[in-house]
Structure 1
């Protein structure tokens, strides 16, 4: 069964709705270099992550410029996993993994030429449609057939992101068969505010899709 992560949580009410919908992971965005309504302060991120209940994975989504900064953020927020976007190269991703207790997810552009190197360095890959600054949340899909090849060829879990919504997530799961799917803007009423009905529909359709395929 494909797992689900709902990203860009800014409010406790949305966190509760995501957990109630049955999502496997919750993403909280802090310390990023892109302009996004989903960013919260590091202290706020720590509070939200602390509120994630047992058996649900709390993920810090961030864009550190150095290994030291990544370690500092993980120590401050204490997430179960940290999702790293931006400029860290595979060796630096591996260094973060050695220095923190959290699992490390490397967020990469679906068109990257360094996918295998990042796969060797991280605990999981999040394959996204990214902007020029390396940030996700663009709301754009990418070549799912290419990502399907990654799922087949790589030994690490592959998380599919980029332009997913309740309307297309079942097709995405059936095409790619990823370890998990990740959504932020695709289940929002407005920037940073989740649509609870959309969250519920996304989780239900993602988790049912592969069983029915």
Structure 2
């Protein structure tokens, strides 16, 4: 079954609603240089991560410029995994991996020339539509066929993100067959605030069995 991560949670009510909806992972954004209503300060990030229950993965989503910066953020917030957007080279991801016990998710574009190098140093790749600053959460879809090719050619799990909504996620899963899907703006009532009904529908549609499946 395809796993689901709901990203950009900013308060405990939304976090708890995401967990109740059956999501496998909760994404908390901290330490990004881009302007986003989904970023929280370190204290809030720590509180949100601390409240994620066992068997649900807490993910720190961040854009460090150095390995040391990433380590400091992980040490302060203590998530189960770290999702790295931009800033670090594949070799730096390898250095980060040697200093952390947490899993590392590297964010890449589907047509990135060094995607295999990132795959060599990450526990999973998240394929997203990124903006000029390297940040995700653009709400724009990308070439699902290209991402499906990556699923077949890479040895690491591939997470599909970018422009997903409750209305299109079932088609995306059927087309790409990713390890997981990731959504932020596609389940919001306003910037940084989750629509709990949309979250429930997204999880349900992402994880439903294809027609005819037993």
Place the TM-score, normalised by the shorter chain, in its bin. over 0.9
Inter-partner Cα distance in structure 1 for 2:209 and 2:118:
28
Q: TM-score, normalised by structure 1?
A: 0.98
Structure 1 residue 111, shift from structure 2 partner: 2.2
1:78-125 deviation line (CA, Å, top 9, x unaligned) = 000000001211001111111011100001112211110000110000
CA RMSD of aligned residues (A): 1.0
Q: TM-score, normalised by structure 2?
A: 0.98
SS of alignment partner, residue 130 of structure 1: coil
Q: Is the contact made by 1:33 and 1:63 (CA closer than 8 Å) also made in structure 2?
A: yes
Determine helix, strand or coil for the equivalent of 1:178.
coil
Distance 2:34 2:189 in 1: 21
Whole-angstrom CA distance in 2 between matches of 1:110 and 1:43: 33
2:56 counterpart residue number:
56
State the secondary structure of the residue aligned to 2:139: coil
Residue of structure 2 in register with 1:189 after alignment: 189
Equivalent positions of 1:97-108 (< 5 A) are 97-108=97-108
Q: Following TM superposition, by how much is the alpha carbon of 1:212 offset from its aligned partner in structure 2, in angstroms? A: 5.4
| Structure 2, unaligned runs of 5 or more | none
Q: Which moved more, 1:167-176 or 1:111-120?
A: 111-120
Question: What is the rounded CA distance, in whole Å, between the counterparts of 1:33 and 1:114 in structure 2?
Answer: 23
Q: Is 2:31 the partner of 1:31? A: yes
Gaps of 5+ in 1: none
Q: Give the conservation status (yes or no) of the 8 Å contact 1:67–1:95.
A: yes
More helix per residue:
1
In the TM superposition, what is the alpha-carbon distance from 1:209 to its structure 2 partner?
A: 4.5
Cα pair 1:170 1:209 within 8 Å, conserved: no
Partner of 1:43: 43
Counterpart in 2 of 1:22?
22
Q: Quote how far apart the aligned CAs of 1:211 are.
A: 7.0
Q: How do residues 1-213 of structure 1 correspond to structure 2 at under 5 angstroms?
A: 1-210=1-210
Pair 210,28 (structure 1): closer, same or farther in 2 beyond 3 Å:
farther
Query: 1:85 & 1:173 partners in 2: Cα distance?
Result: 23
- 1:210/1:46 CA distance change after superposition, 3 Å: farther
Shift >4 Å, 4+ stretches: 209-213
Question: How many equivalent residue pairs?
Answer: 213
Answer whether contact 1:165 1:186 (CA < 8 A) is retained. Answer: yes
